[in-house]
Structures are given as structure tokens and as C-alpha cells.
Amino acid sequence: MQTEPARPEVPDLRLYISVLRRRKWSIALVTLVVVGAAMAYTLRQTPLYTSEARVLVAPIGPGATLASLNMSTEQALVHSAAVAAVVEEDLGLSQSGGLLSGLGVSVEANTQILDITYTSPIPPTAQRIAQAFATAYLKFRQQQAVEQVQSQEAGIQAQIDSTQSELAQVDAEIRQAKGPIKKSQLSAQHDSLIAQLGALHQQLESLQATVASQAGGQVVQPAPLPASPSSPQKVRNGILALFVGLALGTGVAFLRERLDDRLRGSEDLEASVQAPILAVVPMAPDWKDRKLSELVSIAAPKSSTSEAYRTLRTNLQFVEHSGDVRVICVTSGALGEGKTTTVANLGVALGQAGRKVILVSCDLRRPRLHKFFGLGNETGLSSVLSGSVDLASAVQRPSEMDNIVVLASGPIPPNPAELLVSERMRKVVEELREATEFLIFDSPPLFAVADALSIAAMSDGSMLVADANSTTRTAARHARQQLDQVGARVVGAVLNNFDPFASRYSYGYDGYRYAYTYRYREEDSPRKRRGGHEESNGDSRNGRQAQGPERPSVDLRRPDDSMWG
């Protein structure tokens, strides 16, 4: 059986567009820097003016034809020191040899026209020298042609002189000859020499006529006086700098994206923790105090954040149906990723669905779970584990919340790690398991202490919480590896504090594009609705227990009658 070859991954255009959108300010900054630097350099340059003369080149010299004309040679001739010397002589300049630095010579395609340009900071100078080079070039060619003709004339004249000497000698021999045969031979030789002299004189006249009739070319366009500078070209430099800046900015954007280890969305989190994403919880942008322990599931039940926790409840119930997952450890890699908020709101969502749930604060170092429900923290899990109170006296039931029981952390002990791995902790877990449908632990961060690993090992499943703005892919993978080392089962993950309006995570969020219509208002909070007063069996949101009648204990042995009311 042949295995079908794997298809190569096709780059997703949406991914590239999302990178450009979330890095748009980096691209804009790099482009602005490049354009600014280019324009600053351009403005600091001295304006240069260029004048151009056009010369039509014609064949010159004896036997010269259009086919023998080599325009590359003529181009090099204009740019030669010999022509520059003629220019210096004509203009009365010093023999500095610096004229060629501003000279430019080019050949128009498929023509015999040379474009001679000269660039100078002074417009009249550019015009004068460009015209001088065009004139000097033609003058130099004529001088070369004259010298060539003179050389040929000298050779022909030498032949004429030699022939005339022979002719004089033949004439002398004819006068001295006695026999008719001898005279006849000498006469024939005389006629031949006369014919040679005639041909040589004709060649000499032809050479002289050639030099007189040929000029070697003409200036078809005199050099004009430049009206505007040819350099620097501000518009051209600005456009080029814009394109270079955009290209460089785009490269920097993709490089930063490559080096950025932060989560880009639910797909990144799922790939990092190798577990399904149970919910993506959007942030509430109007909450000014992020440390406020507020139950959004109660304060704003119609918000998209509350809907996300109901989604988490539904997915968790499917996980529970697929196996015996009733005891769940909720943890995160680092502080501030929203695990306690997730535990509190998930407990409310489960309770609203009629499921009996016990929430246990296992963070014996920095507890916060009791604050969400306005409960005291004088007694709790640490009190039970230390033996100072029994479990039935330590649990609390929030007012106006059916189906929810909370076991706070209690006073901070000196040895939290030892308490959480004790045999007493295992007995507490088993006793709570028998009294509820869901038992959810709020555990400390994995990277801070080892407490969460102990709790995860006692649970049926663990759920990782990651913050969309602070958690990195490396941290998410490391958190999963730590849970795997103790044999904990990771049932899923939650992406918290997601901003649906930010372009940074627009990719990979197609499954959670419900409308974000909730705006948190102060009057929506339970405190405001109660007129600013807490009920007697509650607590203020800072965790201090309100004064009131003594809290009744809960009998765990009769959960249907005592614990759940």
C-alpha cells in the first residue's frame, strides 16, 4: 500500500495580512525613519545643474565610411584627456585635469548621436563646458584627420619626387640614345613615368579635397542654460525612500513576528499545550481596576464574557461525559493569567446550569477566590489540613447562589507545600468528591511553586489558563511538560483576556466571533444594586468579613439537605 505524499503547506494570505496589521506601527516607524533620513541627506546636498549638447557624428578621413564608424570608440574619445586638454586650451582654464569628473557621455540607441552632458553647481559653467566639449571633440577629430592626410600627402609627395627624378634620367638617356630601338624603349618608359606622375598628383588633390569637405560631424543641439537643478531629485529620492522604507519595515515586522514568542491566538495555545481549547474569554475593556474581584457572570450575565464562561461550562460537561472527570485542577504558568477568575465564573456558570459544584482555594500563599463571593478567609483549607477545624465547619455557601459551595484557603500557613501533599489533603479531596458533581481547585501558578503539581496529581483532570497578552508559547509548552511529568491529565485550556477588537489575534479566532455588546457599568455590580451595602453573611470585595451573625456550618454528610439548601 503506497502512502500518499504529504502536501506542502500553502501559505495563508490572511496570516500575512494579520502580521502586517498588528505590526503596522513598526512598519510606519521604520518607513518614517528611512524617508526622513533620505530627505535630510537630500536637503543637505549642494544643488547641481546639468547641461546637454548633442553631436551628430559623421565619418572623416581618407576612405572613411559609415560602416567603419565605431560609436563606442567615439564615446571614449569624448571622455579622453586629449579632448579635455583641448577644452582647457579653448576656455583658458588651468591644466587641473578635473574637468572629466563632471562629464557624461552616452550614445543614443541605433543612432550616430552622442549626448554630451556636464554637471556643475553653477548653471552657466555647466552650459559653457558642455558646449566646449562638443566643439572640442569635433575639433580634435578634424585635427586627427588633417594629421592623417598630411602623413599620406608626405608619402605621395615622396613618390612624386622619386618619379620625377626617374623621368629626368630617362629624358637624359633619350637624348644620348643612338639606335631607334633604344629610343623606342626609353620613350615607352618616359610615357609610363608621366602616367604615374599624373596618378600621384590626382591622389594628392583628392586627399586635400577630402579634408576640406569633411567636418567629422556637427552639433545638432547646443548646450542650453539649465533652469532647474538636476540633483538632488527630491521627489525621486522621496519615492525611492518610501519604497525602501516599506520593504525594510515589512522585513522588520516579519522578523519581530518570528522572534515574538507571545501567543497569537487559540491555535497557538492549542498547538503549545497539545490540548483542546475549551473557551476563549474576551476581556472587559471598561474595567479600570484589573485587580477587582468581580463576578462578571453575575454582574453582566448577557455579556460576551459571561457567554464565554457558559461555553467553557458546556465543553467541560462534554469532557465530563466522555470520562470520569469530576475533580478538576485549574492552574496557569505564571501569576496574573486569570485562573482564579476562571474558577469563580466557571463555578457560577455550572451552578446556574443546576450542577452542584464545590470550589476550593488551594492557593495557600496569595488567595483570592473568597473575594469573588464576598466570603471571609478566617477559616478554610489550611485550617482543615492543620486540624484546627473540621471540613463541615470550614466550607461556606455564598448568599443568593444555589448549587455553589466554597472552601476558602484559610490563614496562610508556614508550610503550604507540606500541607497540600499530606494524607489529610487526600482524605479531604475524597470527602469533597463524594459530596458534589464537580470539584474545582484553584491552584497556585506552576512556575512559582510546586503546589499545583501536587494538586494536579490528585485531580481527575487539569485545565491550563493562559493570558492572551502575556503568556508565551514557550511558557505554555513548559506548563504542559510539568503537568505531564507528574502524570496529570490535561483536559483542555482557556485563552483568557482576549481582545476581539485587536488585530493582533484576529487570525485563529473564527470560532468565537460573537458580538461584543457588553459595556461594564458601575451600577451593574452587585454592590451597587444592593445600595452600597453587603448582606450580613457576606464580605466586602477586599476579602474582609463583614460583621454579622455567626456563619452556620455545613454538614457534608447530608449534602442534599444541609450543603445545598
Residue 40 lies in a domain: yes
73 HSE (CA, 13 A, CB side): 6
Residue 130 lies in a domain: yes
479 contacts 456 by C-beta, under 8 angstroms:
no
Q: Are residues 353 and 452 in the same domain?
A: yes
pLDDT score of 517: 33
Residue 541 lies in a domain: no
pLDDT in tens, 146-201: 777 777 777 878 888 888 888 888 788 777 777 788 778 878 888 888 888 888 77
Q: Are residues 359 and 463 in the same domain?
A: yes
Phi, psi of 421 (to 5 degrees): -105, 10
Instruction: Give CA–CA dist 348/38, Å, rounded.
Output: 60
pLDDT score of 336: 86
Instruction: Give CA–CA dist 115/222, Å, rounded.
Output: 11
Q: Across-strand partners of 330?
A: 442, 463
Q: Are residues 183 and 274 in the same domain?
A: no
Q: Are residues 177 and 267 in the same domain?
A: no
If you ran DSSP here, which 8-state letter would residue 449 be given? -
Q: Are residues 296 and 209 in the same domain?
A: no
Residue 268 lies in a domain: yes
Q: Are residues 377 and 456 in the same domain?
A: yes
Residue 456 lies in a domain: yes
Residue 537 lies in a domain: no
| Sign of the alpha-carbon dihedral angle for 385, 388, 393, 394 | negative
- HEC string of 105-173 equals EEECCCCCEEEEEEEECCHHHHHHHHHHHHHHHHHHHHHHHHHHHHHHHHHHHHHHHHHHHHHHHHHHH
Instruction: Give CA–CA dist 389/405, Å, rounded.
Output: 17
Instruction: Give CA–CA dist 355/403, Å, rounded.
Output: 6
Domain's final residue, options 194, 221, 248: 221
Instruction: Give CA–CA dist 449/30, Å, rounded.
Output: 42
Residue 536 lies in a domain: no
Helix residue ranges, H only, 323-380 = 339-352, 369-372
Q: Are residues 239 and 112 in the same domain?
A: no
The number of distinct structural domains making up the chain is 3
If you ran DSSP here, which 8-state letter would residue 563 be given? I
pLDDT score of 15: 76
Domain's final residue, options 170, 193, 221: 221
Q: Are residues 177 and 245 in the same domain?
A: no
Instruction: Give CA–CA dist 218/58, Å, rounded.
Output: 8
pLDDT score of 212: 58
pLDDT score of 402: 84
Domain's final residue, options 496, 516, 536: 496
Q: Are residues 115 and 154 in the same domain?
A: yes
Q: Are residues 237 and 269 in the same domain?
A: no
Q: Are residues 140 and 286 in the same domain?
A: no
pLDDT score of 382: 92
- Structural domain boundaries enclosing 253: 20-45+232-258
Instruction: Give CA–CA dist 215/137, Å, rounded.
Output: 11
Residue 509 lies in a domain: no
pLDDT score of 559: 45
- Measuring CA to CA, how many Å separate 225 from each of 47, 65, 138, 395, 437? 15, 35, 21, 98, 96
For the stretch 426-432, contacts whose Cβ atoms lie closer than 8 Å and that sit 24 or more positions apart, written own/partner, are 426/458, 428/381, 428/384, 428/385, 428/391, 429/327, 429/458, 431/391, 431/556, 432/358, 432/360, 432/391, 432/407, 432/556
Q: What is the CATH number of the domain that holds 473?
A: 3.40.50.300
The Cα angle at residue 151 between residues 145 and 152, in degrees rounded to 5: 90
pLDDT-flagged residues of the chain (< 70): 1-11, 61-63, 95-97, 207-215, 284-293, 320-323, 500-565
Q: Are residues 474 and 341 in the same domain?
A: yes
The Cα angle at residue 261 between residues 257 and 262, in degrees rounded to 5: 95
Beta strands 461-467; 357-361: pairing state: unpaired
